[in-house]
Structure 1
């Protein structure tokens, strides 16, 4: 049975961790370990600890950067840290960020946070159980949270 880590934040305006847990439970029999940290810059170490201390096979790092320029910088720093944690552990950490300015209003933002989280949870399941499905989807313009982009047809 695989072990999946879920790291989310208190800064997010929706409970992305709960959405991830709910979606994963619908699609895979796995041990789920969830931790919550204050903000997105805390996600890299939380994810690394889930892998190294809890033996997670894969981790979802869920967060909501704000809309101000300094929030964009923090998101970049967090993303860089997540990449470093992946390289240090040789395990995937699926970054699921929804920027506060991606939605036109709170309703759209809430929808986006839920749908992006759930679609990435399904990606985690595919990566663990059927990586060949990911190969079949290569170049198809998959977008998590919004409508898929049209493939270029090559």
Structure 2
């Protein structure tokens, strides 16, 4: 049985962890989920590292929602760099799922985006563990998590 770690924050304005778990449970079987909630984004790297090293998770999702201020963007960058370091230290994928508050024009659009991005990345997590060939089949297709896909560009 594979273990999937879900790390999310109380700082986020939407329960992205719940959306990711719901989507994973709809997508397939053969795994168990371990969820940890931490205060903020900069707590996500150590939460994921602990999920991997102490709980033996095979993959993690790190879900966060940076605010619109310059300090929030700096914190998101620091958290992202920490997640990259944690991946390299553990040789384990940590799928970063951040939704920046200023990506949306309204609270309802923000909720829609957070839900959709969490769910689409949950499918990516499942595919990385159980169906990696599906990712290969979609290589170069311009997929985006959240807003509409861009589609591929073609050599002319």
**TM-score per shorter chain, which class?**
over 0.9
Cα offset, 1:27, TM superposition: 1.3
| Cα distance in 2 between the residues matched to 1:96 and 1:34 | 15
Structure 1 residue runs of 5 or longer lacking an equivalent are: none
| Cα distance in 1 between the residues matched to 2:61 and 2:113 | 16
SS of equivalent to 1:59: strand
Output aligned runs, 1:107-118, within 5 Å. Answer: 107-118=108-119
- Asked if residue 4 in structure 1 is aligned to residue 4 in structure 2, the reply is yes
Q: Which residue is 2:138 aligned to? A: 137
Q: Alignment RMSD, CA only? A: 0.6
Cα offset, 1:153, TM superposition: 1.8
Deviations 1:34-77 (A, max 9, x none): 00000000000000000000000000000000000011100000
Q: Which residue is 1:19 aligned to? A: 19
Cα offset, 1:150, TM superposition: 2.2
| Cα distance in 2 between the residues matched to 1:149 and 1:89 | 32
Q: Which residue is 1:46 aligned to? A: 47
Q: Which residue is 1:146 aligned to? A: 147
Deviating beyond 6 angstroms after TM superposition, the runs of 4 or more aligned structure 1 residues are none
Structure 2 residue runs of 5 or longer lacking an equivalent are: none
Output aligned runs, 1:88-127, within 5 Å. Answer: 88-127=89-128
Output aligned runs, 1:29-44, within 5 Å. Answer: 29=29, 30-44=31-45
TM-score (norm 2): 0.97
| Cα distance in 2 between the residues matched to 1:95 and 1:150 | 22
Cα offset, 1:28, TM superposition: 2.3
Cα offset, 1:101, TM superposition: 0.3
Paired positions, count: 154
TM-score (norm 1): 0.98
